[in-house]
Structure 1
């Protein structure tokens, strides 16, 4: 049994990582980190500023949601612009399909990756697939983070709403 397993492992293709894959992985790590820091700062600022504004509770909830949407749009654009820049180096891979080199094609692909929707009309090939996977994972995490933040902010506002007014 162990001999069969050992022979099976020996006959498999090598688990090689190319320099292009390492570079794309490093770029992906930096872009994910930038988006996470941006997201944190937007949440921190919204959490600090919205309660200090003299606006109705409903408007504060809408302010939280608007801040989160703006953060997500900025993050999608950061990834989309990264795809556009990387498209200049074909050795990193390409986005194949109906892409005519316009910026909105890269943003569109970024939205479908970030939200893990993935229509499949534009398909990544080569090492750039690593960035696509990183974006899907980051998008899932950041969207979930936004939902948790919105829940906590609404819970705080609703607790305030239930207190008797003076």
Structure 2
């Protein structure tokens, strides 16, 4: 479980890095207006986070097919939708508490929570940098 979790975290971080890197370069060279730039930034970031949630959810779904990896209290059967839901609440650190992982799979969900916190913060930093550029541009060019 530790090795699987590390691979999944690495994939999520590399995905995030690649998307943010390309997005930042795109925003540097694009001639879009302020609104389209910000909307593009936000939608790309949202879809990237959704993809990362699905990465963790799909991984949990497949790992939970092996009973020795644990289970999820609150579910009669493990479904893809439920693992995606639990992934979303874990990644965002929302954690409703209606579903609880048990056994070794807890390690994956614990690392997902930390990873989600870091990646959401990373996205917020890029958003701030882009907004700061917009604000500074307004001051220089009234």
Please confirm whether the aligned pair reaches a TM-score higher than 0.5, indicating the same fold.
Answer: yes
**Contact 1:99–1:105 (CA under 8 A) maintained in structure 2:** no
The separation in 2 between residues aligned to 1:114 and 1:106, in whole angstroms, is 12
Question: Could you tell me which residue of structure 2 aligns to residue 4 of structure 1?
Answer: none
**Which structure is larger by alpha-carbon Rg, 1 or 2?**
1
Q: TM-score of the superposition, structure 1-length normalised?
A: 0.81
What TM-score comes out, normalization by structure 2 length?
A: 0.94
- Unaligned regions of 5+ residues in structure 1, if any? 1-23
Q: Is the contact between residue 84 and residue 106 of structure 1 (CA under 8 Å) also seen in structure 2?
A: yes
Instruction: Tell me which stretches of 4 or more aligned residues in structure 1 moved more than 3 Å.
Output: none
1:33 and 2:10 correspond: yes
Structure 2: runs of 5+ lacking an equivalent? none
Shift of 1:59: 1.4
Offset at 1:164?
Answer: 2.1
Count of equivalent residues: 142
1:15-164 correspondence runs (5 A): 24-98=1-75, 100-164=77-141
Please tell me the root mean square deviation across aligned C-alpha atoms, in Å: 1.3
SS of equivalent residue, structure 1 residue 82: helix
